[in-house]
Structure 1
Amino acid sequence: MTEIHTPRLLLRRWHDDDLAPMADINADPLVMRWVGDGSVLDLDQTAEAIERWEEEWDDEGFGLFAVELLASGELAGFAGLSLPEYLPEAMPDVEISWRLGRQFWGQGYASEAAQAVLEFALQDRGLERVIAIDRLGNEASENVMRKLGLVFERETAHPDYGHALTVHSIDLTEYQS
């Protein structure tokens, strides 16, 4: 089982008891406003998403980790690697992403988890490049990207919803963990 420990977090594969807290995160309109078309997800949609994330682990050898707070055992959200199939022009690059519940914002958890994921991408999976795709205007995610050393590459449009997206990248052969 793949696990990563950071000073405050455990990044791990998904457990059955993660469904309800992740569904709560996905049901928050403020969390989801930057995701897809901005719609919230219900319990069934979250279950389907977790199933897809676990399948990607099995198929690709990487995926989205459940992010658990070491101090409390609470599920804070996810961080990890995935194939950005929703944006075909970005393929075959691997995307780093994160989504945390609102109560976990502003505490450095996203940066801490994403830093660990970048190290995982380089050291454990041997990736040479990672991208991050963000909806234009999502300053919080852009701040995390800057902290990680990702640089702006281009602007594009979401193929289904039309809104502006930014693509940031990092060459992991030059990344300093």
Structure 2
Amino acid sequence: MTEIHTERLTLRHWRESDLDPWAAVNADPEVMRFLGPPLTPQRSTAAARRWQEVLDRRGYGFWAVEVRDTGEFVGVTGLDRMDEGMPFSGVEVGWRLARPAWGHGYATEAARAALAYGFDTVGLPEILAVVTAPNARSHALARRLGMTTDPAEDFDHPRVTDERLRRHVIHRLRAEAYRSRSVARSAVRGDGQHGSVRPC
């Protein structure tokens, strides 16, 4: 297994103890406001088990996220291949955190670590973020990650029936742009570290 450690967070494989708090995240209407209807505990558990299987098989996927100082599970961040049937292909970065974890910069910190793993370890040429059009917080996060959009690529998600959520925006970040930003950030910070990856 691989864990990714940032200054404040650990991105890790899933545990049985994560399932109840993960179900609580997905049952929160405010968390799910731009994602669709709240999920049942059964669907939340199924998603976590599916993601763990992908992590075991592929080496990357959607990791459970915990706060290092407390060990508290706060949500999920990671990388996944786009589903078949979408109007484009590639690997996307995604995040979903419990509401008490909002406003601390955790989503940005975790997503940057996932991007670093995708580009530096997996060797991906590009990473996407697919965001519902009205989700202003996630659009802002994608911009903080250095991602860019082209309005010509906006699309109606083929499996979303809620008219309010059907329109989606594609954010893109190419490996060369990521590395340019990383070099610039390293020069400012003086350390160049987005997080450390270690086997466990």
Of the two structures, which has the highest relative contact order with CA contacts closer than 8 Å and spacing of 6 or more?
Answer: 2
SS at match of 1:166: strand
Q: 1:173 aligns with which of 168, 173, 176?
A: 176
1:115 equivalenced with 2:112 (yes/no): yes
Match of 1:73, SS?
coil
Runs in 1 of length 4+ with deviation above 6 angstroms?
A: none
Structure 1 position 61, deviation (Å): 2.7
Greater CA radius of gyration, 1 or 2? Answer: 2
Query: Sequence identity, in percent?
Result: 39
Q: Which runs of 5+ in 2 are unaligned?
A: 183-200
Q: Is 51-60 or 64-73 further displaced after alignment? A: 51-60
Does the aligned pair in 1 maintain the 2:86–2:157 contact within 8 Å? no
1:101 aligns with 2:98: yes
Tell me, in whole angstroms, the C-alpha distance in 1 between the residues paired with 2:39 and 2:127: 27
Q: Does 1:149 align with 2:146?
A: yes
The separation in 1 between residues aligned to 2:69 and 2:137, in whole angstroms, is 24
Q: Do the aligned partners of residues 71 and 86 (structure 1) sit closer, same or farther apart at CA in structure 2, a change above 3 Å counting?
A: farther
Corresponding pairs, count: 174
CA–CA distance in structure 1, aligned partners of residues 84 and 73 of structure 2? 26
Aligned CA distance change for structure 1 residues 87 and 21 (closer, same or farther; 3 Å): farther
Amino acid at match of 1:49: A
Amino acid aligned to 2:169: T
Q: TM-score, normalised by structure 2?
A: 0.83
Q: Which amino acid aligns with 1:88?
A: M
1:40 corresponds to: 38
AA paired with 1:51? Answer: R
Q: Does 1:131 align with 2:128?
A: yes
Q: Is the 8 A contact 1:64 1:79 kept in 2?
A: yes
The question of whether the paired residues in 2 share the 8 Å contact of 1:87 and 1:158 is answered with no
* Cα distance in structure 2, aligned partners of 1:145 and 1:2: 25
**2:3 matched to which residue of 1?**
3
2:70 counterpart letter in structure 1: S
Structure 1 portions without partners, runs of 5+:
none
Matching residue of 1:164: 167
Q: Quote the residue 2:19 is aligned against.
A: 19
Aligned-residue CA RMSD (Å): 1.3
Secondary structure class of the residue paired with 2:77: strand
